[in-house]
């Protein structure tokens, strides 16, 4: 279970990779893990994210007990999972639950890049799907924060098929007209991009987030040259028509609140 009593336990003193400003742990927490110097948005652990978005004490976690199996009997996969669990304090790469935002109920899911690069295996696929179906079932809008390097290859074909599973849940949400909002955070790539992450009614993104299907290195391998700066950034994706709005982290809660308020007529 995600520990919301200590939402910032994973936050540490950090140097900004863009402007080299050093932020103390306290400054990181105070500035919502956004660089004081240049506005760079650091990756955020799931607990801190929930603390930032959900009304105090409103988050109730769902499906915290889902644990990955090893369907390919791949050597070392169980160990990797255990290590990731220890490192992140999470059972897998997504935390889901119900929450309130400015008093309005919703289903909230937050992916964590810290857990094996936010990769989507059976557990992530199942939890995301259950969260969406819970929203469909109870008519609560669904908000998902994405952060993922793609499919979890260690689970082979099963990880690929999680894309179909989450997209099917998104289809049901859509047909039932339950609002579905996506917040794309750094980075969101691979199978997550090619499934539920691109299926929201409204797609928000954090500034500078990398968003794409193929990763930059794969693309560079295809064309045998460097990509221009900013390729696949949130700003690029807004210009290309795939992101509704880029929202700095300190405005995120207000923006989500506005969306919940204006999607109540369904």
Partner 1 sequence: MDELKNKLEELKDLAGKNNLDINKSLAEIEAMLNVGKDSPTWEKVQLARRLDRPGALEFINLICDDFMELHGDRYFKDDPALIGGIGTINGQAITFIGNQKGSNLKENLYRNYGMGGPEGYRKALRLAKQAEKFNRPVVTLIDTSGAYPGPEAEARGIGEAIAQNLKHFSLLKVPIICFVIGEGGSGGALGIGVGDKLYMLENTIYSVISPEGFASILLRDSNKAREAADIMKMTAKDLFEFGIIHGIIPEAPGGVQNDPAYTAEMMKELILSNIAVLRKKKPESLIRYRSRKIREVGHFTESAREEQDLFKLFTRLFS
The edge-to-edge listing of strands for the beta sheet with 104-111 is: 60-62, 94-101, 104-111, 142-148, 180-188, 202-205, 245-246
| Residue 252: C-alpha distances to residues 141, 143, 217, 259 (Å) | 16, 12, 30, 11
Under rule CB under 8 A, residue 101 binds partner 1:
no
User: Closest separation between CB of residue 87 and Zn ion, Å?
Assistant: 25
Q: On the CB side of 169, how many CA atoms lie within 13 Å of its CA?
A: 25
Among 11, 28, 35, 101, binds Zn ion (CB under 5 A): 35
> Which of Zn ion, partner 1, none is residue 239 near (CB under 5 to 8 Å by kind)?
partner 1
- For residue 118, state whether it binds partner 1 (rule: CB under 8 A): no
The entry of partner 1, Zn ion, none that residue 258 binds, CB within 5 to 8 Å by partner kind: partner 1
- The region of 35-43, 72-80, 91-99, 207-215 touching Zn ion under the rule CB under 5 A is 35-43
How buried is residue 212: exposed, middle or buried, by Cβ count under 10 Å (0-12/13-18/19+)? buried
In order of 42, 62, 113, the CA distances from 187 in angstroms are 11, 24, 8
Distance from C-alpha of 197 to C-alpha of 206, rounded to nearest angstrom: 14
Number of residues that bind partner 1 (CB under 8 A): 84
Q: Does 253 bind partner 1 (CB under 8 A)?
A: no
Per partner kind, with CB cut-offs from 5 to 8 A, the member of partner 1, Zn ion, none near residue 37 is Zn ion
The answer to whether the peptide bond before residue 219 is cis (omega within 30 degrees of 0) is no
Asked if 243 is part of the footprint of Zn ion (rule: CB under 5 A), the reply reads: no
Query: Which residue number, 28 or 136, has a Cβ lying nearer to Zn ion?
Result: 28
Site string for partner 1, 11-50 (x = CB under 8 A): ----------------------------------------
Q: CA-CA distance, 196 to 166, in Å (whole number)?
A: 6
| Under rule CB under 5 A, residue 22 binds Zn ion | no
From 1, 9, 38, 227, residue interacting with Zn ion (rule: CB under 5 A): 38
> How many CA atoms does the CB half-sphere of 152 hold within 13 Å?
29
Q: State both tokens at 87.
A: 């490192």
> Site residues for partner 1, window 126-155 (CB under 8 A)?
126, 129-130, 133-134, 136-137, 151, 153-155
Q: Taking CB under 8 A as the criterion, which residues in 191-230 touch partner 1?
A: 191, 193-199, 201-202, 212-214, 218-219, 221-223, 227
Closest of 247, 208, 248 to residue 32, by C-alpha: 248
Q: Does 227 bind Zn ion (CB under 5 A)?
A: no
Q: Classify 199 as helix, strand or coil.
A: coil
Q: Toward Zn ion, which CB reaches closer, 21 or 257?
A: 21
The verdict on 79 binding partner 1 (CB under 8 A) reads no
40 contributes a contact to Zn ion by CB under 5 A: yes
Note the residues at the interface with Zn ion (CB under 5 A). Answer: 16, 18-19, 21, 35, 37-38, 40
């Amino acid at each position: 279970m995600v520990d919301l009593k200590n939402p910032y336990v994973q936050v540490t003193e950090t140097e900004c990779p863009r402007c080299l400003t050093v932020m103390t742990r306290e400054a990181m927490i105070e500035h919502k893990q956004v660089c004081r110097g240049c506005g760079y948005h650091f990756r955020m652990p799931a607990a801190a994210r929930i603390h930032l978005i959900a009304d105090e004490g409103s988050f109730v976690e769902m499906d915290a007990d889902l644990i990955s199996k090893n369907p390919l009997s791949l050597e070392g996969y169980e160990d990797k999972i255990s290590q990731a669990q220890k490192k992140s304090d999470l059972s897998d790469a997504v935390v889901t639950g119900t929450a309130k935002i400015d008093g309005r109920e919703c289903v909230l899911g937050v992916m964590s890049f810290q857990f094996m690069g936010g990769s989507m295996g059976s557990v992530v696929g199942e939890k995301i799907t259950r969260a969406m179906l819970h929203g469909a079932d109870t008519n609560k809008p669904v908000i998902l924060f994405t952060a993922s390097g793609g499919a979890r290859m260690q689970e082979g074909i099963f990880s690929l098929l999680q894309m179909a599973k989450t997209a099917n849940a998104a289809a049901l949400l859509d047909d039932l007209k339950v609002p579905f909002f996506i917040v794309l955070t750094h980075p969101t790539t691979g199978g997550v991009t090619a499934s539920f992450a691109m299926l929201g009614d409204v797609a928000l993104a954090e500034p500078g987030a990398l968003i794409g299907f193929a990763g930059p290195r794969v693309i560079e391998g295809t064309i045998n040259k460097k990509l221009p700066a900013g390729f696949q950034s949130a700003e690029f994706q807004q210009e290309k028509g795939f992101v509704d709005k880029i929202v700095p982290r300190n405005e995120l809660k207000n923006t989500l609140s506005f969306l919940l308020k204006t999607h109540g007529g369904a």
